[in-house]
């Protein structure tokens, strides 16, 4: 079940294994709309900063995002605090995936933030420090390596941490990076990652994002914008693939 925590509390609330299931701020915000009461009218007193809103159990959420230009205090507060790590969303019931879970535990038992450039330093530091504390509280016993799975339609086979360089540099990895670039609106960053991996990763990336597919990618971004799917990236970012 998805749960919101105050950032400073996760070192007490989570076991070392749970840290891999910390949600990205964007995913945590979407889940908060469903599982928590974001309607200011339902609170007798003013909503306190850094607080976790009331959980919805039996009743369905009736809150709707305020129109542009209007104040939506609880939603806006939750959004900002998730980005800064003052609030942290966790869902240990869902399968780990690289889009919604920024962290994983490597073969050494260390907590790693994948694509750290996407997240605020405060969010990353809050999780890292809390993980070290949780491990220390367990007499130094670290979590086992995270069982990682590919995301979405690319397959669901487990990706082991002990993979060879050849597998990590495969065309499949490059295609996943291209999909991530569109989904997260950071095409240049993901292209750079594919180049750094080397091997067949750049070729796999180019299979998805190249001059031939630029038109389709731009159309995808336009559809996403029409439906409010901001994470598909801006038109400028999509058009930049012609320069990559």
> What per-residue confidence (pLDDT) applies to 96?
93
What is the average pLDDT value for the chain, to the nearest integer?
Answer: 77
49-58, 76-85, 204-213, 228-237: segment of lowest average pLDDT = 228-237
Please state, in angstroms and as integers, the Cα–Cα distance from residue 212 to each residue in 174, 177, 207, 221, 240, following that order: 17, 18, 9, 16, 13
> What per-residue confidence (pLDDT) applies to 170?
75
Q: What is the pLDDT of residues 130-166, one digit of tens each?
A: 999 999 999 999 999 998 765 443 433 344 433 333 3
The average pLDDT across 176-189 equals 72
What is the signed CA dihedral for 55, 92, 34, 100, rounded to 10 degrees? Answer: 140
How many CA atoms lie within 13 Å of 56's alpha carbon, on the beta-carbon side?
15
Please say if the pLDDT value at position 236 is more than 70.
no
Q: What is the pLDDT of residues 22-46, one digit of tens each?
A: 999 999 999 998 899 888 777 776 6
**Residue 228 binned pLDDT confidence (cut-offs 50, 70, 90):** very low
> What per-residue confidence (pLDDT) applies to 174?
77
**Distance in Å from the first CA to the final CA of the chain:** 40
Cα distance between residue 199 and residue 2, in whole Å: 38
Please state, in angstroms and as integers, the Cα–Cα distance from residue 21 to each residue in 15, 55, 176, following that order: 11, 20, 20
The average pLDDT across 200-207 equals 82
- pTM, to two decimals: 0.59
Cα distance between residue 191 and residue 205, in whole Å: 7
Query: Regarding predicted confidence, which is higher, 186 or 226?
Result: 186
Please answer whether residues 127 and 113 qualify as being in contact, where contact means their C-beta atoms are separated by less than 8 angstroms.
yes
Please answer whether residues 169 and 203 qualify as being in contact, where contact means their C-beta atoms are separated by less than 8 angstroms.
no
């Amino acid at each position: 079940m998805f749960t919101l925590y105050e950032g400073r509390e996760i070192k007490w609330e989570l076991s070392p294994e749970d840290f891999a299931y910390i949600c990205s701020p964007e995913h945590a915000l979407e889940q908060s709309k469903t599982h928590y009461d974001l309607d200011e009218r339902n609170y007798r007193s003013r909503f306190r900063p850094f607080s976790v809103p009331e959980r919805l159990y039996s009743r369905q959420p009736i809150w709707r995002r305020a129109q542009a230009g209007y104040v939506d205090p609880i939603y806006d507060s939750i959004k900002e605090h998730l980005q800064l790590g003052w609030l942290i969303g966790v869902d240990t019931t869902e399968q780990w995936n690289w889009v919604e879970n920024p962290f994983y535990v490597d073969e050494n038992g260390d907590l790693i933030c994948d694509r750290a450039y996407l997240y605020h330093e405060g969010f990353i530091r809050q999780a890292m420090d809390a993980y070290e504390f949780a491990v220390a509280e367990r007499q130094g016993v670290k979590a086992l390596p995270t069982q990682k799975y590919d995301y979405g339609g690319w397959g669901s086979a487990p990706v082991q941490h002990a993979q060879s360089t050849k597998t990590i540099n495969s065309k499949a990895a490059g295609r996943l990076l291209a999909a991530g670039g569109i989904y997260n609106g950071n095409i240049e960053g993901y292209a750079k990652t594919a180049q750094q991996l080397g091997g067949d990763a750049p070729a796999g990336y180019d299979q998805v994002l190249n001059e031939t597919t630029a038109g389709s990618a731009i159309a995808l971004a336009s559809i996403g914008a029409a439906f409010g799917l901001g994470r598909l990236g801006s038109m400028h970012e999509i058009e930049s693939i012609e320069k990559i």
